[in-house]
């Protein structure tokens, strides 16, 4: 099956790993804000893989529209289009909490899937709905915590505690520890709806002299994960490290965690940043070989 990869720098790296042709895109923005993404060349194929990384300075809505326009173009060029969106926007609104709200996660996914045959994202935060509940096409949520754990191979797992800052992070902790048999601990987070203040309750564990790794899927300003780190510090841990997938504000999200001088900060390039340690292209290439004819 003739397969072409189209997109940005991630597309070029993915094509090299899979020994495929890559077609990069050019972008034009008109004075009124309209987008005009353009393939550097147009070529028919039996299968197209579309992958785009959200840039740090890019409006999330512009990113979505650009992806939609390119997916529609790809459908003109190939009968099968595999879409990879490393970070899926609007996923947090997967339920209606107040009358009149839009079910944004479902609506955005319905728009995306119109011109795709397969969809892949990385560590979609599946709050109340699973990815299969949001897409009618085959959709895959690629978990990266096992790959993040490999970056801690120099840690003694017997002297390490892996912590999730809230109950939703339990899955992340479990995935992280699949091949890293460390002690696991999950905090219970509560947020004051009026003040926004975060408080935690947690088991009274002895962290004295332990290497602690706090794992989460998303870091924006770093508020939640830093509050958890303060507790870990009070419990006399030897070192504190962070491992997470999506740096929402790029380098700024990573820099926000340096105030406590962590041992390590390990993140990915699902969103553009210059400080990532795990390149998602390799796990994506492995996964694509499993689910497509490559």
**Domain residue spans in the chain?**
3-144+279-291, 145-266
pLDDT digits 0-9 by tens, 236-249: 999 999 999 999 99
Query: What does the pLDDT look like over 50-107, one tens digit per residue?
Result: 999 999 999 999 999 999 999 999 999 999 999 999 999 988 777 777 888 888 888 8
| pTM as predicted | 0.92
pLDDT at 198: 75
Backbone torsions φ then ψ of 199, nearest 5 degrees = -130, 155
Residue closest to 106 by CA, chosen among 117, 118, 90? 90
3-class secondary structure, 278: strand
Confidence category of residue 189, pLDDT binned at 50, 70, 90: confident
Which residues have CB under 8 Å from 117's CB, separation 6+? 80, 81, 82, 137, 138
Architecture of domain 145-266 in this structure: 3-Layer(aba) Sandwich (3.40)
Q: What confidence score (pLDDT) does residue 128 get?
A: 67
Does 145-266 match 3-144+279-291 at the fold level? yes
Separation of alpha carbons 210 and 196, rounded Å:
30
Residue 32 reports pLDDT greater than 80: yes
In CATH terms, is domain 3-144+279-291 a member of 3.40.50.2020?
A: yes
What local confidence, expressed as pLDDT, does residue 127 receive? 67
Sign of torsion over alpha carbons 10, 12, 14, 16: negative
């Amino acid at each position: 099956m003739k397969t072409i990869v189209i997109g940005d720098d991630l597309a070029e790296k993915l094509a090299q790993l899979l020994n495929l042709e890559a077609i990069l895109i050019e972008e034009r923005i008109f004075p009124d804000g309209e987008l005009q993404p353009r393939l550097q060349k147009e070529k028919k194929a039996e299968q197209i893989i579309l992958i785009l990384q959200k840039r740090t300075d890019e409006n999330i809505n512009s990113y979505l529209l650009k992806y939609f326009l390119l997916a529609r173009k790809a459908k003109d060029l190939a009968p099968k289009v595999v879409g990879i969106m490393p970070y899926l926007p609007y996923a947090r609104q997967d339920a209606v909490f107040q009358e009149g709200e839009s079910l944004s996660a479902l609506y955005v996914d319905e728009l995306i899937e119109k011109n795709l045959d397969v969809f892949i994202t990385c560590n979609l935060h599946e709050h109340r709905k699973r990815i299969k509940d949001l897409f009618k096409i085959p959709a895959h949520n690629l978990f990266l915590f096992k790959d993040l754990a490999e970056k801690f191979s120099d840690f003694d797992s017997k002297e390490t505690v892996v912590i999730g800052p809230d109950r939703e992070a339990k899955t992340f902790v479990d995935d992280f520890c699949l091949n890293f048999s460390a002690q696991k601990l999950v905090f219970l987070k509560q947020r004051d709806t009026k003040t926004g203040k975060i408080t935690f309750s947690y088991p009274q564990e002895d962290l004295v002299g332990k290497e602690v790794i706090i794992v989460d899927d998303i870091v924006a300003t770093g508020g939640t994960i830093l509050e958890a780190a303060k507790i870990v510090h009070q419990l006399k841990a030897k070192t504190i490290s962070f491992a997470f997938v999506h740096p929402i504000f790029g380098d700024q999200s990573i820099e926000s965690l340096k105030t406590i001088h962590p041992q390590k900060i390990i993140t990915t390039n699902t969103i553009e940043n210059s400080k990532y340690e795990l390149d998602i292209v390799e796990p994506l290439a492995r996964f694509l070989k499993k689910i497509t004819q490559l």
